[in-house]
């Protein structure tokens, strides 16, 4: 079996030697039609016949893993790709640190592992469902193509998790794999498992914020699982991270281009005051305070994905060697077991926010969230550089962790984006200043008119600096049917 190149001969492209694994091959072939039905029902609405210039993974060699070509999305070759096995890999953390990494599921951690894989798997189709209507209002063919690239890769990520379920979890795994095709984002009876994946992605600014903030939660979770002592999970996640980077690129550059266009239009019109929303909106661009509100919304929804600040599940997953910390292998200064360490956790104590040392094992969700926020800051500061270049006096900011939370320590209170705790009446009166309100939604919705001519871009977004696969902004990224 060639581990680097992918076998494309069968129904399911793979580098896991499916041809010599009849049981799993049969199970996946049985699952395949249900997946295609799901894609046709819940994938991009109205574009299934279009030819999209997509990248497909043809190898797991980091130096040249993808090829680009026109593809009809239902014919995309969704495959199972694992990063190459690292020889003599050992478990990098937890009670089993230093032992040989597991190639099979350890019996005592079976339930824990399965749950982790199912939750990760559930997010992948969920975002495709959330984004299925966006094609109709795409600001350009370039953006349309990027949306579809993200969508087909989230589909592939579902395959990645389903492979693990079929291969390692027997009949329970099969049932879980089926259930992943049955839940639906936002459905009242059978919703997706996590809150942020049941929210709407109503417009393209939301899409960019989603790929910036929510796909970045995905990155953090994948990084933590890439450390796993269960080697097949580690290898799966390592390859998924290669694809995930593009999703966050779409998010970061998308927001950058919106900001850039707004600043440029303001400058051309001689508007200095970013808070003169009426004047800015007359220019057909999205005012900076509204962009900030979208940022507040998507950042706070994504923070909820990290779960409770203090968590026994997180402690168990680490202790048992199933889920590590962000880039565990590069961390120095502790023994990677954390049995006697502490970690500062922001908590609510008698109505005020205080940092309190907690056992490091129980505080692992908090730690991953802190790492996440640091990662989020980087793009925000790049957005601010753009605003600064135009000489506009405005700064984007991440909201405080206590702002607009549904999960964990701060779900019991209301706080403003600065982290000041406010009473319910104040919150009700001011929330429209912090989160998109009906007016904002109506305004943005009005801007969302499709621009599908080659090389053209909607009024509210700047063209990209560079295109995809060394093509220009005027390349025909999607040939509409």
Closest approach, Cβ 154 to Fe ion, in A, equals 5
Nearer to Fe ion (CB atom), residue 143 or residue 287: 143
Task: Give the Å distances, CA to CA, from 323 to 228, 314, 318.
Answer: 5, 8, 5
Nearer to Fe ion (CB atom), residue 30 or residue 200: 200
Q: What is the enclosing helix (H) or strand (E) of 161?
A: helix 141-168
Per-residue binding string, Fe ion, 415-454, x by CB under 5 A, is ----------------------------------------
CB-CB neighbours of 86 under 10 Å: 12
Closest approach, Cβ 215 to Fe ion, in A, equals 4
Per-residue binding string, Fe ion, 374-413, x by CB under 5 A, is ----------------------------------------
Nearer to Fe ion (CB atom), residue 54 or residue 415: 54
HSE-CB of 396 using CA atoms within 13 angstroms:
29
Closest approach, Cβ 218 to Fe ion, in A, equals 5
Nearer to Fe ion (CB atom), residue 141 or residue 160: 160
Q: How far apart are CA 451 and CA 467, in angstroms?
A: 17
Q: Which residue among 129, 215, 287, 416 contacts Fe ion (CB under 5 A)?
A: 215
Judged by CB under 5 A, does residue 246 bind Fe ion? no
Nearer to Fe ion (CB atom), residue 222 or residue 360: 222
Q: How far apart are CA 416 and CA 414, in angstroms?
A: 7
Q: How far apart are CA 216 and CA 295, in angstroms?
A: 13
Q: How far apart are CA 160 and CA 79, in angstroms?
A: 8
How many distinct helices (H) and strands (E) make up the chain? 13, 7
Task: Give the Å distances, CA to CA, from 437 to 84, 297, 434.
Answer: 48, 11, 9
**Cβ proximity of 236 and 481 under 8 Å:** no
Per-residue binding string, Fe ion, 110-129, x by CB under 5 A, is --------------x-----
Nearer to Fe ion (CB atom), residue 157 or residue 238: 157
The stretch among 56-64, 114-122, 154-162, 298-306 that binds Fe ion (CB under 5 A) is 154-162
Q: How far apart are CA 101 and CA 270, in angstroms?
A: 62
Q: Which residue among 247, 261, 294, 400 contacts Fe ion (CB under 5 A)?
A: 247
Q: Which residue among 25, 157, 281, 336 contacts Fe ion (CB under 5 A)?
A: 157
Q: Could you tell me which of 456, 446, 449 has the C-alpha nearest to residue 478?
A: 456
Binding residues for Fe ion (CB under 5 A)? 124, 154, 157, 215, 244, 247
């Amino acid at each position: 079996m060639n581990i680097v190149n992918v076998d494309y001969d069968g129904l399911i492209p793979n580098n896991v030697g499916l041809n010599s694994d009849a049981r799993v091959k049969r199970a996946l072939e049985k699952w395949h039609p249900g997946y295609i039905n799901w894609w046709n029902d819940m994938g991009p609405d109205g574009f299934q016949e279009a030819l999209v210039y997509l990248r497909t993974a043809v190898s797991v060699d980091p130096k040249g893993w993808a090829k680009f070509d026109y593809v009809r999305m239902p014919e995309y070759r969704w495959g199972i790709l694992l990063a190459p096995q690292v020889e003599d890999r050992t478990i990098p953390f937890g009670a089993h640190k230093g032992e040989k990494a597991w190639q099979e599921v350890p019996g005592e951690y079976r339930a824990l592992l399965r749950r982790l894989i199912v939750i990760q798997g559930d997010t992948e189709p969920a975002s495709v469902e959330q984004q299925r209507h966006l094609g109709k209002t795409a600001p350009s063919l370039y953006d349309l193509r990027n949306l579809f690239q993200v969508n087909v890769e989230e589909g592939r990520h579902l395959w990645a998790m389903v492979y693990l379920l079929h291969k390692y979890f027997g009949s329970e795994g099969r049932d879980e794999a089926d259930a992943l095709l049955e839940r639906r984002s936002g459905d009242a009876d059978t919703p997706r498992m996590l809150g942020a994946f049941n929210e709407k992605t109503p417009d393209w600014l939301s899409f960019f914020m989603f790929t910036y903030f929510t796909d970045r939660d995905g990155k953090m979770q994948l990084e933590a699982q890439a450390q796993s002592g269960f080697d097949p999970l580690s290898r799966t996640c390592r390859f998924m991270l290669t694809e995930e980077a593009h999703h966050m690129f779409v998010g970061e550059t998308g927001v950058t281009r919106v900001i850039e266009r707004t600043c440029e239009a303001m400058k051309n019109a001689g508007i200095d005051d970013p808070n003169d929303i009426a004047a800015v909106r007359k220019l057909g661009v999205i005012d900076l305070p509204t962009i900030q509100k979208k940022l507040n919304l998507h950042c706070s929804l994504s923070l909820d994905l990290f779960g409770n600040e203090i968590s026994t599940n997180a402690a168990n997953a680490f202790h048992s060697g199933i889920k590590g910390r962000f880039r565990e292998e590069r961390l120095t200064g502790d023994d990677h077991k954390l049995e006697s360490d502490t970690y500062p956790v922001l908590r609510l104590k008698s109505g005020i926010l205080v940092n309190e040392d907690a056992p490091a094992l129980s505080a692992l969700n908090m730690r991953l969230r802190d790492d996440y926020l640091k990662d989020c800051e980087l793009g925000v500061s790049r957005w601010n550089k753009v605003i600064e270049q135009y000489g506009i006096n405005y700064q984007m900011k991440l909201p405080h962790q206590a702002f607009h939370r549904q999960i964990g320590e701060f779900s019991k209170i209301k706080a403003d984006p600065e982290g000041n705790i406010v009473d319910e009446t104040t919150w009700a009166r001011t929330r429209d200043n912090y989160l998109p309100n009906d007016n904002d939604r109506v305004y943005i919705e009005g801007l969302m008119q499709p621009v599908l001519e080659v090389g053209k871009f909607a009024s509210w977004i700047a063209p990209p600096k560079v295109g995809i696969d060394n093509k220009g902004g005027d390349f025909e990224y999607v040939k509409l049917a």
